[in-house]
Structure 1
Amino acid sequence: MVEDTGRDTDEAVDIVSRRASVIDCLMDGPKYNRDIRDALDVSRSTAYKATSELERLQLVRRGDDGHELTVFGRLLYDEYRRFRDRADDVCRTGGLLAVLPPDVEIPFDVVKDAEISLSKRHAPNEPVREIERLVEAASSVNGTAPVVLPRYVELFSRQVLSGELEAELVWERPVFEYLITDYEEDFTAALEIDDLRGWVTDAELPYGLLVVEEPTQEIAIIVYDDTGDIEGVLINDSDRAYAWGRDRWEEYLSSATRPVSDTER
């Protein structure tokens, strides 16, 4: 008779986490302790302790052919692996995400299977090169700019003035004022072309955002530190990530204004 159908979730998850290698070893069928020892190259006491813990929680039981997973053990381990797969994506991007302001909301769909490029001491411009690759391959892009980098100015000016890129950008007001002052000739020339539409926001943008519309659909989140130095870029071309990025950009656009009226079409 089953008197207690429940199990303490924290305890069960803790044991599955600590004994994941043993459970994985049993996924393809029952095994004796000696088989587990040989497969995992662990001591007799380690194998015995692991199977004893798993048996106590009824994740594993002794059968005719050795220790075998129960239905409970197999199902819980399947769910644990799904969680680990998701957690791996979050942890893989965690160093970059940790730089963002704490109130920024980034859904899992944005980090799932994302590519990241980090600024490193020996290669500080690697993320910028990834951004250049995206923009040079794009024919239509929307974006936000909380920071000015000379290479960004040169990149967008070159692509827009050559007719290879249509861009609609939202700048923080200090960014726009810096561009119109320090890059007056190139920036003004670019603004006079219909292929570039610029907007100014008084909001503080927590990151740079690029939403590539054509020929592919993908997004890039550009992360900066407190001094404006680039920390890295996260790129994702999934449909859900693109939809999120598009929604965020439209939110920023909705609160922005056109800085130069004579560029209106």
Structure 2
Amino acid sequence: MEGEDLAELLRLRHGVLRSLVEDPRPRHELVDVLPDSKSTIYKSLSQLQDAGLVKSVEDEFVPTLFGVTALARYDTLVETAHVGDLLADFPGDTVDPAALVGAEVVRPDETDAERHLEAVWNLLEGAESAGGVAPVVSPGYVERFRKLIDSGLTAELVLPTPLVNSLRDQHTTALAAVLERAVIYETDMTVPFGVIVTEGVRPQMAIELRDGPFITALIINDTPDAIQWAKMTVERFQTNAVRVESEEE
């Protein structure tokens, strides 16, 4: 079966397949538990069987490994569709799709332009430690981040070299104070978006998307897959980065 045909079949028949993944059963029992008509269910089973997604075993229909895998891929697509417009301009290997499943999207709007920024601070204020990568630092970030550091947050951040130079010029005192308690690295790599990953009572990760200096959205997730991806992303940027030392040293 061609990929497009399979996608269309899953769109139409995913409810029947899901029911069998959850509990294999005879055809007549499906009629009792699903809202579809008998003829629709029978047709669905025939199509799913022809596609190799289910098979009949001793009068029961059971999902095949292909069926379980295909349904999982379909669910991933459905659950990440709400961030599709945000990621459309990024290369396909930029973000692991597993990191997006179950994610919450916070977007600024006309009624609350700072909503996404408050979400960042809520995430950091509930953490014991944080790692991150940031392409840009918004006005007010440095002082507020300094207060979090002073209250006990430990952090390791990777910033592009031009951003580090700008912080040295415009926020010299605050940067020096942050460097007393946090580790900052500078990198020559292109940083396409911001990533934060926290540890503590509730580990979380966030992807900060921007259009130049403007934040377009914050994608927040707390699944193990998302947190693992975020940690690996931060570590990748740290690999060839250089630690920033205080100007006084």
TM-score between both structures, scaled by the size of structure 2: 0.75
Report the equivalent of 1:75.
63
1:147-226 correspondence to structure 2 within 5 Å: 147-160=136-149, 162-191=150-179, 193=180, 195-225=181-211
Query: How far off is 1:170 after superposition?
Result: 1.1
Report the equivalent of 2:215.
230
Contact 1:104/1:206 (8 A) holds in 2: no
Change (3 A) 1:261 1:155: closer
Report the equivalent of 2:238.
253
Larger deviation: 12-21 or 210-219?
12-21
Query: How far off is 1:256 after superposition?
Result: 1.1
Alignment deviations for residues 76-113 of structure 1 (CA, whole Å, 9 cap, x no partner)? 776654333211222122222224x3254211221122
Take 1:58 and 1:205, find their aligned partners in 2: how far apart are those partners? 44
Take 1:222 and 1:252, find their aligned partners in 2: how far apart are those partners? 16
Query: How far off is 1:218 after superposition?
Result: 2.2
RMSD, aligned CA: 3.4
Secondary structure, counterpart of 1:93 in structure 2: helix
Take 2:164 and 2:215, find their aligned partners in 1: how far apart are those partners? 19
Change (3 A) 1:8 1:130: closer
Report the equivalent of 2:135.
146
Take 1:20 and 1:103, find their aligned partners in 2: how far apart are those partners? 26
Take 1:135 and 1:120, find their aligned partners in 2: how far apart are those partners? 22
Report the equivalent of 2:74.
84
AA aligned to 1:168 is E
Change (3 A) 1:20 1:136: closer
TM-score between both structures, scaled by the size of structure 1: 0.71
Percentage identity across paired residues of the two chains: 23
Take 1:128 and 1:248, find their aligned partners in 2: how far apart are those partners? 21
| Number of residue equivalences | 233
Gaps spanning 5+ residues in structure 1: where? 1-6, 42-46, 61-68
Take 2:5 and 2:105, find their aligned partners in 1: how far apart are those partners? 34
Contact 1:27/1:74 (8 A) holds in 2: no
Selected match of 1:135 from 109, 119, 124: 124
Larger deviation: 77-86 or 212-221?
77-86
Take 1:93 and 1:58, find their aligned partners in 2: how far apart are those partners? 29
Change (3 A) 1:259 1:74: same
Take 1:137 and 1:71, find their aligned partners in 2: how far apart are those partners? 51
Larger-Rg structure: 1
Report the equivalent of 1:3.
none
Query: How far off is 1:21 after superposition?
Result: 6.6
Contact 1:141/1:214 (8 A) holds in 2: no
Take 2:116 and 2:176, find their aligned partners in 1: how far apart are those partners? 27
Query: How far off is 1:241 after superposition?
Result: 2.1
Alignment deviations for residues 104-152 of structure 1 (CA, whole Å, 9 cap, x no partner)? 4211221122222122233222111110101111221111121020232
Alignment deviations for residues 197-222 of structure 1 (CA, whole Å, 9 cap, x no partner)? 21111111111111213344322111
Query: How far off is 1:231 after superposition?
Result: 1.1
